[in-house]
Chains A and B, each alone.
Chain A
Amino acid sequence: SVAVNAETWTLHQFNELLEVHHATYTWLHFEAVSENGCAYRRSRWRKYETELQRCRPEALPIEFGDYHPLKPILVTDTKTRRGVRKGSTSSSSSSSSSVPPDPLSSMLDGTDPLSMFASETSTVPRSVVGHDFEPWSAKRGEILTRFTTTEKLSIVRKATSPASSAVSEKVRTRLEELDDLEEQDYANRIEELNQSLKEAWASDQKVKALKIVIQCAKLLSDTSVIQFYPSKFVLITDIMDTFGDCSMCVFLFLHTNALLLSDAFTCEDVNDTAKETCLNWFFKIASIRELLPRLYVEASILKCNHFLNKTGISTTLPRLTAMVRGIGDPLVAAYARAYLCRPLLTEMMERCKTMGNNALLLNSVMRAFRPEFVAARATDFIGMIKECDEAGFPKHLLFGSLGRSLASADPPEPERLTILNEAWKVITKVRSPRDYIICAEIWVEFTCRHFTKREVNTVLADMIKHMTPDRAFEDAYPQLQSVIGKILTYFHDFSILFSMERFLPFLDMFQKDSVRVEVCRSIMEVFIRHQLEPTRDPVILNAMLHICKTMHDSVNALTLEDEKRSLSLLIIGFIRMVSFGRDFEQQLNFCVESRSTFCNLEPVLVQLIHACAAYSFITIPSLSSIFSRLSLYLLSGQVALANQCLSQADAFLKAAVSVLPEVPRSISVEGKLRSSESFLLDFINNFLSTLLVVPDHPEHGVLYLVRGLLNMVQDYTWEDNSDAKVRVYISALPLLAAMSQETYLYSIPKMDSNETLYGGDPKFLSEINKLCETLIGQVLDHLKALGREETARRQGALAFSLFGVLVAHGDLRNNKLSQLAVNLWNLSHKHGYCDTRFSVRTLDHMKQQAQQLDMSHLSDTVQRLALQSRT
């Protein structure tokens, strides 16, 4: 490699090369500080702008800072562009749509202990009966996770029955002591009690079971660890429920069992047995000494009241409610009320049926009861709704309430279709579009939850039919939007979604731009979240393109940057999900189509370019012409660079470098076999000029690509007797010189080249210098090898071009460098193969340069350059 060559290069060899050049060597090796004070910089200091100005013949002396109407506005923002090169992946994946929480409101959320307690006592019971009824199972989990404590909790353990005689007396007394427990232990202990309750019940020890329940309920009167109380309530009411269910089961069992065994007894007597057992149980419970356990146990077996009398719970419930007044602690009382409200309200429904004009009542019942409860009786409810009087309360509101319950709880499987049919029959008859859509929106959820696209499609069709006349949809955007939202929650498979014929027509109802975009956006969000596999489904593609186009078309001059960015992200998400597999043509077609569709959103275009870059990268190797490949790699690399696709650019350039050794020495041009050398040189020069702006890869070394290229050039089997390799070296020197400038000759907008990355770091400069040394060493080596008579012409030409490079790019104030230049001049003129006119022109140029500020030293050099007269 070049680096190895640099090491093997010795002073001895060098001196042997050209005795006149010994000074050069010292230049090549270090001087700490050069004369003009610019540390480590060997290349001439360039001011590209002023140079450019000078080159323009008509250039007017413009004072910087002057305003001139024709002067292009130049905004130099190099300072602000400074930054670390971004990672190799594109940065479009980050989304910034989330709004940071308001610090004030987050401060207030739950930190104030007073309001927390207040909300504890007031909201929990309300939320249990409130019209936005949450399913208890969900609430339960939430309470358990929210109300936790680290304090010690205590349970007074009594040996629950004499049956546990295995426990010795001593142990039992110990168990009766107050146990201090951690929260988890507490929950475990209660779970144990729950288990032992079940066991006791199963082994027919009913009294023991009752004792356990009483003991548990007693725990609820202890509010010492107040923040744990809600959780405790949940744990213990679980036990209560178990107990209630057990009792219910037993009585039911007695009922049926006795019926089966009735050989001697009549059916009436059988009922009596069950009733008697039940009554006994009630007497037992009525004599529970303490208030709280009695209340809870009575509430837990409320259901069993059906065995006793016709009135059922309608008399018991008010009594229990009044009983709660006897609880002094407001917290305990509130929770006890909450528990009372929980189970079983069939009774109420029965009453509803018997009352005339019951619509209003029915509505409250459906809204206030647990959705599970309503759902299980959905068919009954529908019957009742149908029968009730329209005058008092419109039916569609009733169906709305019913639908809301059914949306969160499932009615029995076989009834579902009937329910939907019945409900929709009524809904579709609602004349006012406003009422209609409110009701329909609620039922969409039910439909989506339990049915296939066919039913949903029908529902959508019906909605379109209702909402289109008189543009009724204009007043119902929120509802329509929520319909879409609900559909999206349940249908994640977009091929199914878009195969609903009515889905896109439904979308067409959103005619207000902002709403339309909003809807499209929500669809896109779901798509991006749930579409995991890339797709080529034409249905999806068409529909999504349509949606994306809608979003894209909403962009105008007034659109905010943020808005644009988020829209772009969504569209990009879609484009990424499109894959035609090996069918690159299709993919490219898609990209082309997308480009024309989404031309207003720059990030999308970038994404498309990524896609195209990938396409090119895959396609280029299939070309047979090596030069086409090379130049396409280079071109693609340049395009990628121009679009800030760094990793793609890297890949392209690297690929180009790695293809280099394959270039044959001769190629066929227009049927004739010709040497490839000149083409190759052209390419490499072009390549070198691109490399100026390619920033270094953070994981690879400094000037990774340049070194890679030079290594390839060195290893390439050039034609014998060819100076091509050395020419490449010579032309690499201007690149290195350009790289060491503070501001580069050219750069790509919005992209940081090495100038910004390294910011003129001395280490970077010294790397460049080392490379220069090596290259010049190689060139000098080669010059020496050309010392013979027959190659003198080549030697002269090479020496002259090196001289040219030095004069143009080297800092000739450095004596040694200027000495090297002089030597090279002499060498090139030594054999008289030099074009005198060219030499004269060069001298003229140098003299002209020397007249400029900072360049006066050139005149010294010029004086040392003797012009040979042609002999």
Chain B
Amino acid sequence: MSVSVDIRLKRANKVYNEGEVLSGVVVLQCKEPLPHHGILLSMEGLVNLQLSSKSVGVFEAFYNSVKPISLLSSSIEVARSGKIPGGKTEIPFEFPLQAKGNKVLYETYHGVFVNIQYTLRCDVKRPLLAKDLSRTCEFIVHCQPQKAKVSPSPVSFSITPDTLQNSRERDTLPKFLIRGHLDATCCVVSQPLSGEVVVEHSDIPIKSIELQLVRVETCGCAEGYARDATEIQNIQIAEGDVCHGLPIPVYMVFPRLFTCPTLETTNFKVEFEVNIVIVLQDDHLITENFPLKLCRV
């Protein structure tokens, strides 16, 4: 006897804002009538924090001393115990998206040390000798658009051997001049990062120019806080020794789920940075770092 349970949200993109109503159907499909002890639907929003082994001890990291923060939790019984007829049954449901107490619904974010996730879970309780059926479905929460106007302010940069920090061999460095600008460092998360890079001059041919998107996650805990920067993605914008003096577009789409508006709470922080990485033919790496402030409008 095969039974399938599915949760279908009304919105195809599964994106909801706080205060909206989450609606959809539970779809049950079975060949024969299915007896059950009730169908339960629960909604949950959790922030999972994990300490990196780098900042705390290995064991502590493993046994994760930080408790998850619950943002949202509610459940309803969509069907009393009884029998579901054979065939396809759709049970519609609705949930108001309301945060617990005085909490705020943070935007969905999949990171390394911080995860903000919202799920719907459907459990079909069944009589003895039959396994309970369950199905989970993630939905995505976008935080409320910020009211404040974000005025894009371009940021120019110019990279020469002299502007480099932490370079031990400044004298042996080849000469180069790379200029450019980012249209803004205060970015809308749904719009791409844009700008230009111009290789004005370089003694050694360029091998590649890349955009590295980095997340900076900070977790506060009893012992202090841990701050870790990890790469989200690396996008190549130039390959080979590009034409000097010709502006090369900087363009990067912020990946969904892996980015969210910059978040700062009492317990944790999620920030983003972008590095413009220039790889020279002799594998020298030149990196210029830009902290970003992401927001949603």
A interface vs B, CB < 8 Å?
Answer: 221, 264-265, 269, 272-273, 275-276, 279, 282-283, 286-292, 294, 319, 322-323, 325-329, 332
Q: Which parts of B14-29 form the interface with A (CB within 8 Å)?
A: 25
Contact of B239 among A264, A287, A328 (CB under 8 A): A328
Q: Which of B113-121, B219-227, B247-255 contacts A (4 or more CB under 8 A)?
A: B247-255
Q: Do B253 and A290 touch across chains, with their CB atoms under 8 A apart?
A: no
Task: Given A273-B12, A319-B251, answer yes or no on A264-B25 (Cβ-Cβ < 8 Å).
Answer: yes
- When distances are taken between beta carbons in the complex, the residues of chain A under 8 Å from B236 are 289-291, 294, 326
Residue of A nearest to B238 (CB): A326
Q: Do B11 and A291 touch across chains, with their CB atoms under 8 A apart?
A: no
Q: Do B90 and A287 touch across chains, with their CB atoms under 8 A apart?
A: no
Task: Given A291-B238, A326-B242, A328-B240, answer yes or no on A286-B253 (Cβ-Cβ < 8 Å).
Answer: yes
A-B contact pairs, 28 of them (CB 8 A): A221-B239, A264-B25, A265-B10, A272-B11, A272-B13, A275-B13, A279-B13, A282-B253, A286-B253, A286-B255, A290-B236, A290-B239, A291-B237, A291-B238, A294-B235, A319-B249, A319-B251, A322-B249, A323-B237, A323-B251, A325-B238, A325-B243, A326-B236, A326-B242, A326-B248, A326-B249, A328-B239, A332-B240
B62-96 contact mask (Cβ, 8 Å, vs A): 1 or 0: 00000000000000000000000000001000000
B25-42 contact mask (Cβ, 8 Å, vs A): 1 or 0: 100000000000000000
Q: Do A291 and B255 touch across chains, with their CB atoms under 8 A apart?
A: no
Q: Do A287 and B249 touch across chains, with their CB atoms under 8 A apart?
A: no
Residue of B25, B241, B248 with most chain A CB atoms under a 10 A cut-off: B248
Would you call B144 an interface residue if the criterion is a C-beta within 8 Å of the partner chain's C-beta atoms? no
- When distances are taken between beta carbons in the complex, the residues of chain A under 8 Å from B12 are 269, 272-273, 275-276
Q: Do A287 and B235 touch across chains, with their CB atoms under 8 A apart?
A: yes
CA A454 to CA B241, docked complex, whole Å: 62
- When distances are taken between beta carbons in the complex, the residues of chain A under 8 Å from B13 are 272, 275-276, 279
- When distances are taken between beta carbons in the complex, the residues of chain B under 8 Å from A282 are 253
- When distances are taken between beta carbons in the complex, the residues of chain B under 8 Å from A294 are 235-236
Would you call B246 an interface residue if the criterion is a C-beta within 8 Å of the partner chain's C-beta atoms? yes
B interface vs A, CB < 8 Å?
Answer: 10-13, 25, 90, 206, 209, 233-243, 246-249, 251-253, 255-256
Q: Do A292 and B248 touch across chains, with their CB atoms under 8 A apart?
A: no
- When distances are taken between beta carbons in the complex, the residues of chain A under 8 Å from B234 are 289
CA A189 to CA B242, docked complex, whole Å: 31
- When distances are taken between beta carbons in the complex, the residues of chain B under 8 Å from A286 are 252-253, 255
Residue of A nearest to B237 (CB): A326
- When distances are taken between beta carbons in the complex, the residues of chain A under 8 Å from B233 are 287, 289
CA A23 to CA B53, docked complex, whole Å: 137
CA A319 to CA B192, docked complex, whole Å: 12
CA A286 to CA B243, docked complex, whole Å: 24
- When distances are taken between beta carbons in the complex, the residues of chain B under 8 Å from A326 are 209, 236-239, 242, 248-249
Q: Do B247 and A325 touch across chains, with their CB atoms under 8 A apart?
A: yes
CA A286 to CA B253, docked complex, whole Å: 6
Q: Do B239 and A327 touch across chains, with their CB atoms under 8 A apart?
A: yes
Shortest beta-carbon distance from A374 to chain B in Å: 31
Q: Do A264 and B90 touch across chains, with their CB atoms under 8 A apart?
A: yes
CA A558 to CA B111, docked complex, whole Å: 93
- When distances are taken between beta carbons in the complex, the residues of chain B under 8 Å from A319 are 249, 251
CA A287 to CA B213, docked complex, whole Å: 11
Q: Do A325 and B253 touch across chains, with their CB atoms under 8 A apart?
A: no
- When distances are taken between beta carbons in the complex, the residues of chain B under 8 Å from A265 are 10
Shortest beta-carbon distance from B229 to chain A in Å: 19
Q: What is the number of contacts between chain A and chain B, taking CB atoms within 8 Å?
A: 78
Shortest beta-carbon distance from A98 to chain B in Å: 47
Task: Given A289-B234, A291-B236, answer yes or no on A283-B255 (Cβ-Cβ < 8 Å).
Answer: yes
CA A288 to CA B210, docked complex, whole Å: 12
Which are the 10 A-B pairs with shortest beta-carbon distances?
A328-B240, A326-B238, A272-B12, A286-B253, A291-B236, A273-B12, A322-B249, A328-B241, A276-B12, A328-B242
CA A327 to CA B242, docked complex, whole Å: 6
Contact of B253 among A272, A276, A287 (CB under 8 A): A287
Shortest beta-carbon distance from A538 to chain B in Å: 71
Q: Do B249 and A323 touch across chains, with their CB atoms under 8 A apart?
A: yes
Shortest beta-carbon distance from B206 to chain A in Å: 7
CA A711 to CA B238, docked complex, whole Å: 96
CA A287 to CA B258, docked complex, whole Å: 12
CA A292 to CA B239, docked complex, whole Å: 8
CA A687 to CA B212, docked complex, whole Å: 106
CA A110 to CA B219, docked complex, whole Å: 67
CA A286 to CA B251, docked complex, whole Å: 10
Shortest beta-carbon distance from B108 to chain A in Å: 14
Task: Given A286-B253, A319-B249, answer yes or no on A327-B235 (Cβ-Cβ < 8 Å).
Answer: no
CA A332 to CA B242, docked complex, whole Å: 12
- When distances are taken between beta carbons in the complex, the residues of chain A under 8 Å from B248 are 322, 325-326
Q: Do A269 and B10 touch across chains, with their CB atoms under 8 A apart?
A: yes
Shortest beta-carbon distance from B66 to chain A in Å: 30
Residue of B nearest to A275 (CB): B12
- When distances are taken between beta carbons in the complex, the residues of chain A under 8 Å from B238 are 291, 325-328
Shortest beta-carbon distance from A798 to chain B in Å: 108
- When distances are taken between beta carbons in the complex, the residues of chain B under 8 Å from A279 are 13
Residue of A289, A325, A328 with most chain B CB atoms under a 10 A cut-off: A328
Residue of A nearest to B208 (CB): A291
- When distances are taken between beta carbons in the complex, the residues of chain B under 8 Å from A276 are 12-13
- When distances are taken between beta carbons in the complex, the residues of chain A under 8 Å from B11 are 269, 272
- When distances are taken between beta carbons in the complex, the residues of chain A under 8 Å from B25 are 264
Q: Do B239 and A325 touch across chains, with their CB atoms under 8 A apart?
A: no
CA A289 to CA B252, docked complex, whole Å: 11
Q: Do A289 and B239 touch across chains, with their CB atoms under 8 A apart?
A: no
Given A283-B256, A291-B236, A325-B248, 13 more A-B residue pairs with CB atoms under 8 Å apart are A264-B25, A265-B10, A272-B12, A287-B233, A288-B235, A289-B234, A289-B236, A290-B236, A292-B239, A325-B246, A326-B249, A327-B240, A332-B240
Residue of B nearest to A322 (CB): B249
Q: Do B247 and A289 touch across chains, with their CB atoms under 8 A apart?
A: no
Task: Given A264-B90, A269-B12, answer yes or no on A329-B240 (Cβ-Cβ < 8 Å).
Answer: yes
CA A325 to CA B196, docked complex, whole Å: 11
CA A560 to CA B234, docked complex, whole Å: 76
CA A286 to CA B191, docked complex, whole Å: 12
Q: Do B249 and A325 touch across chains, with their CB atoms under 8 A apart?
A: yes
- When distances are taken between beta carbons in the complex, the residues of chain B under 8 Å from A329 are 239-240
Shortest beta-carbon distance from A610 to chain B in Å: 71
Q: Do A289 and B251 touch across chains, with their CB atoms under 8 A apart?
A: no
Shortest beta-carbon distance from B164 to chain A in Å: 23
Residue of A nearest to B257 (CB): A283
- When distances are taken between beta carbons in the complex, the residues of chain B under 8 Å from A289 are 233-236
Shortest beta-carbon distance from A362 to chain B in Å: 30
- When distances are taken between beta carbons in the complex, the residues of chain A under 8 Å from B247 are 325
Shortest beta-carbon distance from A304 to chain B in Å: 15
CA A376 to CA B269, docked complex, whole Å: 56
Residue of A nearest to B196 (CB): A322
CA A328 to CA B237, docked complex, whole Å: 11
- When distances are taken between beta carbons in the complex, the residues of chain B under 8 Å from A290 are 236, 239
Residue of A283, A291, A326, A332 with most chain B CB atoms under a 10 A cut-off: A326
- When distances are taken between beta carbons in the complex, the residues of chain A under 8 Å from B251 are 319, 323
Shortest beta-carbon distance from B78 to chain A in Å: 16
Shortest beta-carbon distance from A624 to chain B in Å: 95
CA A276 to CA B90, docked complex, whole Å: 23
Residue of A nearest to B197 (CB): A326
CA A325 to CA B252, docked complex, whole Å: 16
Shortest beta-carbon distance from A258 to chain B in Å: 9
CA A326 to CA B248, docked complex, whole Å: 6
Shortest beta-carbon distance from A302 to chain B in Å: 16
CA A327 to CA B249, docked complex, whole Å: 11
Shortest beta-carbon distance from B263 to chain A in Å: 21
Shortest beta-carbon distance from B281 to chain A in Å: 10
- When distances are taken between beta carbons in the complex, the residues of chain A under 8 Å from B237 are 291, 323, 326
Residue of B nearest to A274 (CB): B12
Shortest beta-carbon distance from A310 to chain B in Å: 16
CA A260 to CA B152, docked complex, whole Å: 45
Residue of A nearest to B207 (CB): A328
CA A286 to CA B12, docked complex, whole Å: 21
